[in-house]
Structure 1
Amino acid sequence: MVGSKPIKLGSRSTAIEALRGVDLTGKVAVVTGGNSGLGSETIRALATAGADCVLCCRNKKAGQAVAAELQPTVKGKISVQRLDLADLSSIKAAGDALASLPSLDLLVLNAGVMAVRPKQHTKDGFELQFGTNHLGHFYLSSQLLPKMKKQGTPGRVVVLSSSAHGFGRIHIDDLNCERRWYGAWASYGNAKLANLLFVKELARRLQEEGSPVEAFALHPGICHTSIGEHMGGRATVFYCMYKPWLKSAAQGAATTIYAATAPELSGKSGAYLEDCHEAKPWRCARDADMARRLWDKSEELVQAALKKAGLA
């Protein structure tokens, strides 16, 4: 609420507006990719509402600079944790550090890479987009979910996917494009579909356990952020083509904040959101059998990589 007038949320709402007066004092949030774009706006909104936020990013100095800029303007405390989602050893170290938090109420899996070309790999040999956007977050959440569930209080896992999941396909026996043709955008769609299937299976498992923790996936909209910087001139063309539909970072983060705080979403774990409303994902994201198979395969890949790296 602002004054006495209710806020009607939509495609041009900002993250601060999506809070609608919610008070997060005493809550703790972890946000990946919090040093720029949608992540920093998510941190800004959550901390404005009183949440203590852990800003996770690869470059700790960059994260500290953002935290120093935001801290004077918000109520919650902002701390920084180094996290490289393309490196399982970094994820393990971050997970161990985050386990010492007094509590964990919100886990926002925001970080990602987009349309990487040519094909690249994570430190552990996974195709970079699938390895970072899905497997990195999958492993991080496996470390932090026990803490969230043990608290026995309502919590939320919020995963940023994309409408690009619609052209994604899960090739369960070749997730790293070792035998298939690699396409930058096709791989991005695959990774974003994996994000949605992860949320679907996570929500099922949480409900089966009777846990008060819920999971939501979302499409933030087409936003002009740094996620496309590595694309060079192609990013300029991309942003020019979509200019009429582009959102600011603050607008793109609105659906993240809605997913994290909206009371009307309670009991709707597994929902997919767009423009601060529930939406229907493409059929490929509603395949419960594939969601279970991807979960099992993801566990297998991560455990094998951990063992190979001497981290298991």
Structure 2
Amino acid sequence: MSSKATSFARLFFRKTDENAQAVWQILSLAIETRADFNMDFFVHNRLVYQLKGACVEVRPDALKVYLRGGVEHLPPVGMEVHVYFSSRVERKSVPFDFLTRVLSAERKGGDSFLWLNLPEKLGHNQRRYNVRVSASKEDIRDFRVWYGKPVVDAEAGDVRLRWVPISLQHVELLDISAGGLQLLVARGSPVYPHLAPREVLLVRGTFELRGKSPQQLIMVGSVVRMSKSEDASRAGLAISFKRWGKMVGGHFVWRDLGRQEGINPLADWVFQLIFNRRRLAREREEDCSSRKKYQGQDDHNQERRQ
């Protein structure tokens, strides 16, 4: 397969093509999680093939799928295919689907592969923004939280928010996504009595992204769900982001979020964190396997010497 069509840098960093970025990230996650691909093949809207496989490679213009089981006849070039798969993220199954066409087919030894045209978008790809990852405040540089206290402005005749900082010793971050986060706030915080659904909080942080300069972000969100511990010593807050700002040229540029939207730089950071954790877990697993292997060899050699 040729990779001339679109350079990887253009695919990944083009500001106007957020769908392409989401597609690449989610398919890469499908490879990491070894997600099953269920594929329906059509000719003139009539189902003619049903195959199962797994994505093994993603390129700027195509993806490679390994076909499971013995496949006697491979689908021809140009055939339409509807792909369904789910990826497990933080012990949750997230479903996706897309329509595409067969670019080529190949056999290597006893294995069969299909190259499929890379889709422009995935069904429900807004779910990218709902992918949550467990995190702590130590994972985010300069992490800070403020409570928006309503204050009546007598001169203006309206209510404004005064941002009251919440001490980090009273805050714990539980998880985060591109669309929101969950916090624990201790009763010792002065703002604790004011916390309730629909109250507004502001979150700030600097997010490190590989190959990019650090992203300074501010997120404003409202409390959509709240629960307290049995002894009321802590309040759990689920916060949905409504606006966000990004540092550009020394000042923040603000954007509103739609109902199904999320913050793209934050989505990138979430996926990066997931990939890094999977890589470290895999390295630890390989290291452990190597140690057991060498230990077994040492034990065997010692027995022979005895």
Q: TM-score, normalised by structure 2?
A: 0.25
Larger-Rg structure: 2
Higher relative contact order (CA 8 A, sep 6+): 1
Q: Whose helix fraction is larger, Structure 1's or Structure 2's?
A: 1
Q: Whose strand fraction is larger, Structure 1's or Structure 2's?
A: 2
